[in-house]
Amino acid sequence: MLYVPVVVFLFGSRGPDPGTATAIVAGLLLLAAAGVTIHVALSPEPAFRVLMLGVVTTALTAAAAFGVFFLVLVGGSCSDDGHISTVAWLGGLVIYLVGGSLGLRRSAVHGVWAVPASLLVAGIWLVGVATVLTGSTGACLD
User: Could you give the number of structural domains in the chain?
Assistant: 2
Mean local confidence (pLDDT), 22-27: 76
Residue 63 belongs to domain spanning: 47-142
Considering the domain architecture, whether residues 130 and 80 belong to the same structural domain is answered as: yes
d(CA 46, CA 96): 28
pLDDT at 118: 92
Angle formed by the axes of helices 18-42 and 47-74, nearest 10°: 140
Q: C-alpha distances in angstroms, 61 versus 13, 76, 119, 140?
A: 24, 22, 7, 23
Considering the domain architecture, whether residues 75 and 55 belong to the same structural domain is answered as: yes
Considering the domain architecture, whether residues 57 and 112 belong to the same structural domain is answered as: yes
Considering the domain architecture, whether residues 54 and 115 belong to the same structural domain is answered as: yes
Considering the domain architecture, whether residues 53 and 34 belong to the same structural domain is answered as: no
- Rounded to a whole number of angstroms, the distance between the first and last alpha carbons of the chain is 29
Distant-in-sequence contacts of 33-40, Cβ < 8 A, 24+ apart? 35/1, 36/1
d(CA 77, CA 75): 6
Considering the domain architecture, whether residues 116 and 139 belong to the same structural domain is answered as: yes
* pLDDT (tens digit per residue) in 79-100: 666 777 888 889 999 999 998 8
With a cut of 90, say whether residue 112 has pLDDT above it.
Answer: no
| Stated pTM of the model | 0.74
With a cut of 60, say whether residue 68 has pLDDT above it.
Answer: yes
